[in-house]
Chains A and B, each alone.
Chain A
Amino acid sequence: MFIIFLLIGISVTVASGFLAAFLWAVKSGQYEDDYTPAVRMLFENEPASKSGGTEPKKA
């Protein structure tokens, strides 16, 4: 039954990974604006826009 200790260790580690990811996301400002990114992703890239030649900027 040693496996239980191992499994619990793994599960807590994985969960901690998600917690860390969440904290990082908050810190990096992803919770600052929860509306604009949803609109921005629907803008289509212009076909063959030679003028700039760059991709639309992402935040």
Chain B
Amino acid sequence: METALQTKIQTCYHCGDSCVDELIIAHDKSFCCAGCKSVYELLEENNLCTYYSLEDNPGISGKQPLAQARFAYLDDAGVEAQLINFKNDSICKLTFYVPQMHCSSCIWLLENLFKLNPGVAESTVNFLRKEVSLTYFHQKTSLRQVVELLAQIGYEPAITLADTDGKKETKKNYSLIYKLGIAGFCFGNVMLLAFPDYLALGEEVQRDYGRFFGYLSVLLSLPVFFYSARGFFESAWQGIRQHMINIDLPIATGLLALFITSLYQILTNTGAGYLDSFTGLVFFMLIGKYFQQKTYDTLSFDRDYTSYFPVSVTVLKENGEEESVAVRNLKVSDRIRIRNQELIPADAMLLHGTAMIDYSFVSGESEPVEKVVGEVIYAGGRQVGESVELEVVKEVSQGYLTQLWNNSVFSKNEEQSMESYANVAGKWFIIVTLLVAAGALVYWVPRDTSMAMKAFTSVLIIACPCALSLSTPFVHGNTLRIFGKNKFFLKNTSVVETLAKIDTVVFDKTGTLTEPSAAEVSYTGKVLTPAQEQSIKSVLSHSTHPLSQRIFHFIQGDTLEVQGFQEFAGKGVAGEVNGHFVRVGSAAYLGVNTSQEKDALKTTVYVSVDGVVLGYYTFFNVYRQGLKEVLQGLHIDKLAVLSGDNDHEAARLRELLGEEAELNFNQSPVQKLEYIKSLKNQQRHVLMVGDGLNDAGALKQSDAGIALTNSITNFSPSCDAILDATAFDKLSRFIGFSKKSMNIILASFAVSLIYNVVGLTLAVQGLFTPIISAILMPISSISVILFATLSVRFAARKAGL
């Protein structure tokens, strides 16, 4: 059986990864690592194997082992109190964000946590938000144990500094749904009561029931007027106070005219009023608002640096003991230990060990920077390699990154863009409407005063640009949905309009144009024999240095036993394989004179076997797939690249982006921000595409900031839109489609204008009757909704989205 299994590449029963490096056969199943196997065993012991029958390979790879005492900070009462939502004598309730959640098996397992830890009373998953709400008995178990259990089965909750900052506002605002429900209820009933009018049931019915129906309708439309429609009046009033005319002003005028006329007619028993139209309009427009309000709960567009920071850090006490301490309580001169892949939370001085700091978050530099003992390391860097000891020199709140973030230039004041299409159209609408209404008044007053009043109010009513106000939310809402389906998530609908206006695109280089995890390796020098390659690979297999790892993966084949392996921090590695002495490392380490090398900026790693330098490996960035198509598809007049890296890739970028593009290297976060600012001062509409914390300021400063991320649930800097890296090749199509959807809005404006012209013609002649309003208003609303929805769908299909 074993041999049969070996013939093809095995995939892990738990996580579905291919078992290349390691293959563990246990319980007749194959696992890629001990971590996956132990999770399986844990689940099997507790009869939880349904997990595997719901989805294929649902698990999360357990390859990264968990450090002991990692969650010790959760025992701290202060931290606990900040995380817990509710606590009484027996139970605690809290909600965790679990980004790893991805399938229905995950839901099932997380909701069956009580079988793994009897102290857990209940766990409920909100899949879209990737949250687990937990209730546990704090006498039977502790917060730390619950989190450790979650981490053990692969669902480590993301607990960051932002969580302990105080309770975030999780209460969702349901007022729109309430308004919609009430408007719908009243609309339906008023419509029912209006039937006798339309059917012309005769004088008798009208006389007997007309008044009763009328009063009931008034009663039913009061909540619509005072509650559901309040938003339109408030917005219009705000516009007036700021001396601005927005789309809500003509709407509010129309609604007011409609309601008052109806009230007057019913109370004086002179007519049936238009209350069905009134309630209907409010109902339809609220649907439009609801559609526009669609949000992506799972994504956070407004993160700051605290979301990146861990909650705790290992502090070394004087007696050498390790203790987990909340980052907030970190004091100057505390000694901290930072392990592989951990983030440095405060500016600190290196005391012990070799630090290889990956500053990609902060500066965008792709290669780790080496620091020697005594140097100060700024917060935000990630240690790669061995664990190091540091002494804190500044508190977290005083650190470089925190200061940078709190810099006022980083906060863009989010002014409401009043210049949206609908608002511009609204301005003209109200002018034309008032002119026409005044014209009707002037025409009728000498002839028939009652007719004059009727014509005047009718014009105001029919000109209510409800269709106009409907087209924008529906076009934008549908565009948002189509983008979402293609893994491009916008913060809100107004971003569509911003994207359509873009004429300048600025890219970050590292991680945005380039694939962050991949680097092309090329070898220059004497041709290596397969045996030499194998020995180099063997030596490198013992090193955790990122460059070693890249070369290790670049060379094919197996590894051999290495004797006398030595790693010289910051220099290179050495070891003996099959009697040959292999050294791999920097030029200085191997004694190569690099001053003659032309490309001193390139990252190079030299190799020597038995003291003879054979050649060197060079690393190149790998540009994202589809980059060429994106650049060709962008019809803009300026393209720029801002990179935190040095300019050794300049020639390749130039070739990719063309002669026109502006390339800027060695850019600090503040420089990036200033660059965007200067572009904006030239009246350009700037789109910034970035990925790291170093782009955060630029993303905020730009008109539209797109954060590119490999996993949408991962942290991304605050931005206007989040783009999944797999959809990067569609970027130009997204921008093109935004422009198209603006055209669709214009077209639906035209459609609604036709109705308004027909209605106005009738209104100025005084022919506007309840029956006409009952027909015209719903038809115009619904046809505009249909037109907007269908044409966006059609355009999307044509654009291949």
Q: What residues of chain A have their CB less than 8 Å away from a CB belonging to chain B?
A: 1, 4-5, 8, 11-12, 15-16, 18-19, 22-23, 26-27, 31-36, 39-40, 42-44, 46, 49, 51-52, 54, 56-57, 59
Contact = CB atoms under 8 A, between A and B. Distances in A.
B114 A33 contact: no
Contact of A15 (B107, B125, B188): B188
Contacts of A5: 212
Contact of A40 (B107, B178, B192, B216): B107
B47 interface: yes
Contacts of A31: 174, 177
A15 B193 CA distance: 14
The 10 closest A-B pairs by CB, nearest first: A36-B127, A19-B185, A33-B126, A59-B124, A39-B104, A57-B122, A22-B181, A35-B128, A35-B127, A26-B177
A20 to B, nearest CB: 10
A32 B126 contact: yes
B352 interface: no
Given A4-B209, A31-B174, 15 more contacts: A1-B209, A16-B185, A22-B181, A33-B127, A33-B128, A34-B128, A35-B128, A36-B107, A36-B124, A36-B125, A40-B107, A43-B108, A51-B115, A57-B114, A57-B124
A56 B114 CA distance: 10
Contacts of B127: 33, 35-36, 39
B111 interface: yes
B208 A1 contact: yes
Contacts of A12: 189, 216
Given A15-B189, A26-B174, A26-B178, A49 B208 contact: no
Nearest to B133: A59
A56 B185 contact: no
A42 B609 CA distance: 62
B107 A39 contact: yes
B114 A46 contact: no
A4 to B, nearest CB: 6
A9 to B, nearest CB: 9
Contacts of A35: 127-128
Contacts of A26: 174, 177-178, 181
Count chain B CB atoms within 10 A of each CB in A5, A18, A36, A46 and give the residue with the most.
Answer: A36
Please indicate which of the listed interface residues B107, B127, B193, B209 has the most CB atoms of chain A within 10 Å of its own CB: B127
B123 interface: yes
A1 B666 CA distance: 87
B50 interface: yes
B124 A8 contact: no
B112 interface: yes
Contacts of B111: 40, 56-57
Given A1-B208, A33-B129, A52-B114, A46 B189 contact: no
Nearest to A9: B216
Nearest to A42: B104
Contacts of B174: 26-27, 31
A46 B185 CA distance: 43
Interface in B195-229: 208-209, 212, 216
A19 B126 CA distance: 26
Contacts of B54: 43
Interface in B16-70: 46-47, 50, 54
Nearest to B175: A26
B630 interface: no
Interface string B165-198: 0000000101001100110010011001100000
A23 B181 contact: yes
Nearest to B123: A57
Contact of B126 (A36, A42, A54): A36
21 contacts: A1-B208, A1-B209, A8-B193, A11-B189, A11-B192, A15-B189, A19-B182, A22-B185, A26-B177, A27-B174, A31-B174, A33-B127, A33-B129, A36-B126, A36-B127, A40-B107, A40-B111, A43-B50, A43-B108, A57-B124, A59-B124
B50 A15 contact: no
Interface in B141-181: 172, 174, 177-178, 181
Nearest to B219: A12
A10 to B, nearest CB: 12
Contacts of A59: 124
Contacts of A44: 50
A46 B512 CA distance: 47
Contacts of B193: 8
B178 A23 contact: yes
Contacts of B216: 8, 12
